Amino acid sequence: MTGSVQRSPEVIEVWAPLAEQVEIEWSSRAPSTDGSPQEQPQTQVQPQPQRDAMTPTGDGWWRWGPGPAAGGDATASDDHAMAPSPQVLDYAFVLDGQEPALPDPRSAWQPHGVHGPSRTFDPATFEWTDGDWNGPRSGTGILGSVIYELHIGTFTPEGTLDAALARLDHLVDLGVDVVQLMPVVPFAGRWGWGYDGVDLWAVHDGYGGPAALQRFVDACHARGLGVALDVVHNHLGASGNYLARFGPYFTEAHHTPWGAAVNLDHEGCGPVRQFLVESSLRWFRDFHVDALRLDAVHELKDDSQPHYLVELSDVVAALSVTLGRPLDLVAESDLNDPVMVAPTSEGGRGMTAQWDDDVHHALHVALTGEAHGYYADFAGGGAREEAGPIGVLAKVLTRGFLHDGTMSTFRGRPWGAPVDIERLDARRLLGYLQTHDQVGNRMAGDRISGALPPGAQAAGAALYLLGPTTPMIFMGEEWAASTPWQFFTSFDDEVLADAVRRGRRAEFGAHGWSEDAVPDPQDPATRDASVLDWDEAHAGHHGRMLQWYAACTGLRRDLLGAGPTRFADVAVAYDEDDRWLVMTHHAAEGRAHAVAVNLAESSRALPLGTSPSADVLLAWDDVRTQVREGSVRMPGHAVAVLRLG
């Protein structure tokens, strides 16, 4: 049985192999002109839910249809069997007579919150205008695209998908190719990061619900912007997660930081894998998204063959052929193993690309000097071949990973595998200076711009925006936003809320922070402080940084083109003591270009190798940046991009 459960609101199916009896509790509403239900006035009597028995159809599946034309259940009474075809249904399931009724694991819509009944949603009612859309960058896909990571709840004060539409032109002007939305599935409360979502087929009603996501994607495509969606398949949130009541969605055979693992390889895993795969296809098919970012795939515990990621990759590739446009999968993986992006036909996991935290760590340590925790190896020295952070950065820029089979002192063992710098398309690794994790998991959610001179941030930006990897900007980074991005929640379960609050304080207290200084995740002011201040984007030094980022994305198109890149074509010269670095990219076609970075406080002359000539294309300080024979002199905390002759 395929388990495609909501092709129409007249037929409801659910996989509940643990139940001996399943009932559906439902009520109907007339839809409005846009397909959403017409809410009843408060003075009008609300429809009373009705309850019918569902029919077992085999393999743990149960089915209900309220009318004979829809294959109605023979156990449904005549009074309950006449809901007309256009009705929108609110419904929930009662398993073995146990109250309360539970939402559908494959719910398309949770307008009453994660604990309330589900609501049917017909995605076919939306009138798309993107018929000519063939994927990001005219059909080339996500590789090499400028990606912009965006959290709907803090991108605007309203925190909705519709409100975000007003800022899409900003992303176009910035040079963005793909908007990557952090998770949008429903979670408990109004505000949150989204990684504790519990309804993997639905869209958070606080963001506007499923129709709003369709409007958002359509508007992005109209502006030439692709859309990637962050999805979480490795766990569900603690509040509103009822999957274990329905079936063996989790297994104690494996454990993750969140508890029992999602069941991908033990008894009953087939429908669980199908549940996840079909939820992924739904985003591509019904919401026209272009890519999925898969959260922490190293926590997808699967010892079976084929691995879950291989199955997902092959199924998505088949859908891509059917839809006639590229569909990409981007993994967040801390394994540092190129097998993640190798084709499934060659024994790989088949991901289009993967996040490369080593790029972030190397840039962060070289720029800020922080060297605690997992940053320690990125400072170089000790038993490492690299004497210091500039040498570490040079390795990452030319070989992809620092930990490529070398010792990770943080993990206490060798980590990763080497990249084939001649063969691997370097665009299969994502490089970045900031992400939601690297900002939000700091105690105060402080951005790197608060710790650096503007020229130093500009240098870091140029190195990854003009490097061989696929670049990703975290929202607000482009104008050195003064607002933090902190960890926030809005759980209505006080026990859970207090546990999160105490856990956050204990975590940072153990590292020497005053527990009183840790922002309260449950305080609405924590979320409000994290909302971008759009009034500052074009003002003063913020506006200068915004212009720099836009100039770098424009140069990327001119200098790197649309084709593959290789780490083998990148060379880095540097001086650890004088704190300068020159990254030179010798493209397969055309002239080479260089990004020259001076991280020292005073002026430096940076050698440009044997190039007979050099032209400055972009400079943070264009007045004091001067090309001389074989070198470029620039002030401290500065960067220049040069075309080499």
Among all residues, which ones are annotated catalytic?
A: 295, 332
Asked if 556 contacts 471 with a C-beta cutoff of 8 angstroms, the reply is: yes
Give CA separation, 378 vs 358, 420, 432, 464, in Å.
8, 21, 15, 17
Distance CA 249, CA 243 (A): 6
What are φ and ψ of residue 573, in 5° steps? -105, 145
H or E stretch at 62: strand 61-64
Locate 463 and state its tokens. Answer: 């190195």
Distance CA 356, CA 378 (A): 14
Q: HEC states along 539-599?
A: CHHHHHHHHHHHHHHHHHHHHHCCCCCCHHHEEEEEECCCCEEEEEECCCCCCCEEEEEEC
Distance CA 603, CA 640 (A): 13
Strands 88-95 and 22-29: antiparallel
Distance CA 41, CA 29 (A): 12
Locate 83 and state its tokens. Answer: 């809901």
Q: Which residue has the tokens 């408060």?
A: 42
Name, in order, each residue with C-beta under 8 angstroms of 499's C-beta and a sequence gap of 6 or more.
none
SS3 127: coil
SS3 146: coil
Distance CA 644, CA 592 (A): 5
Name, in order, each residue with C-beta under 8 angstroms of 231's C-beta and a sequence gap of 6 or more.
183, 185, 200, 279, 280, 283, 292, 293, 294, 295
Its sign, for the CA torsion 259, 261, 266, 271, is: positive
Name, in order, each residue with C-beta under 8 angstroms of 173's C-beta and a sequence gap of 6 or more.
550
Closest listed residue to residue 172, CA positions, set 148, 152, 156:
148
Name, in order, each residue with C-beta under 8 angstroms of 131's C-beta and a sequence gap of 6 or more.
none
- C-alpha of 574 from chain center: 33
What are φ and ψ of residue 268, in 5° steps? 85, 10
